[in-house]
Chain A
Amino acid sequence: MIKNTEELIHNLSSDLSPVRPLRSPLIRSALWVGILLPYTGLAIVVTALLIKRPIATLDRAFAIEQIFALATGIAAAMAAFASVIPGRSRSYLLWPVFPLAGWLGTLGESCLAAPPPAVTGHNLSCFPFIIFLGTAPAIILWKMLRRGAPLTPHMTAGLGALAAAGVGNFCVRMVHQEDVTLMLLVWHVGGVFLLAFLSSMAGRYLLKWRSPESAVD
């Protein structure tokens, strides 16, 4: 620790470099989505080739499900961006609730109408794809979130993972347009939530206050 506060203030102010204030969570989320658009398109095509399945045709019910799924991811990203800004009210936690409810609602409705559940190898194989396709969105989001203040690292990491896995799931569903069964619900939605939970647990390791040395260097 620096010897006294006056000395610290002198060190910090004498080497001050200008910084651009972070943009609002809405704009940062839009930026994140913008970066991911080409990636998402490519990921869908590559995944379709890898698992040898056609890309989904957007019938009405499926399109609504996918819109809600993507909206959940984007709203979670916005909430994660808001959570690293000091002094904001916690109302941002509500942002993903509405699209999430819509997503679960559309899946639940299809699930009730579907035949009895069965564990299939295909459903199981989707989970690693969600992780794989969610990795790039997660890394970009993590880099962006690290520019903020890690006030609530567990919550921020959980929301970030929900956003990234949401995008990953969106890509996988584009080549996995099956009737929604309970098992599909478990492996897709459950997988997304599992990843969010695990990331949340690791929040303190993923998002740390930067070291004091870096501030005075």
Chain B
Amino acid sequence: MEGGKREDPLAELMSRSQAGDATAYAELLKETARILRRAIHGWRTGLTDEDIEDLIQEILLAVHNVRATYDPSRPFMPWLLAIAHNRFVDGARRYARRGAREVPVDEQNVTLKEPFANTIEETFGESEALQRAIEELPSSQRAAIEMLKLQEMSLKEASEASEASGISIGALKVATHRAMNALRKLVKKR
């Protein structure tokens, strides 16, 4: 099998990487990334360049994690492609789920029908003023606004983030609703 190894430069690099050769490993990963980039583009997945880079990084991490499973007497490419295919299928599933949830829209300047809604933009546009109004809210309402509106967390994420204080999703909804009403009143006052 030594002969086979000599004919497969990637197998040779991987074998040296398993022995702890960092230079060979960097070279192997660069070549692997290049192969994967070309292959994924060739598969016409419809993924953005950013998604493809994310996927490549995920595959490289998987390769790194299971590098002990490579048998130096076997060819490298079937080993790599089995990992790549597995991570690609999982990744595609994740991107499909995300795609189903999100609708890309162009950002546009909108004038709203209700004069009050536009007034907020005009009179309360400064972030400092809004920050002051948020600081005046009770702590639970302030936390809800910060997590759900400023950090754009989902209800589930916000509930998990505030797990220590035991805030449920229902309580977050109520706190947000009350906070929005309170902010609206503060806006009117000014």
Contacts and interface: CB of A to CB of B under 8 A. Distances in A.
Given A5-B33, A9-B30, A151-B82, A85 B69 contact: yes
Interface residues of B, number: 39
Interface in A130-162: 147-149, 151
Interface stretch (A15-23, A111-119, A180-188): A15-23
A5 B69 contact: no
A14 interface: yes
Contact of A13 (B26, B65, B78, B82): B26
Contact of B53 (A4, A21, A216): A4
A215 B59 CA distance: 12
A85 B71 contact: yes
B124 interface: no
Given A16-B20, A16-B25, A9 B60 contact: yes
A18 B19 contact: yes
B64 A87 contact: no
B26 A149 contact: no
B69 A8 contact: no
16 contacts: A1-B54, A12-B25, A13-B23, A16-B17, A19-B67, A20-B68, A21-B18, A21-B70, A86-B69, A87-B79, A87-B82, A151-B82, A151-B83, A209-B62, A209-B65, A215-B61
Given A1-B54, A86-B80, A151-B83, 4 more contacts: A16-B25, A147-B69, A149-B66, A215-B61
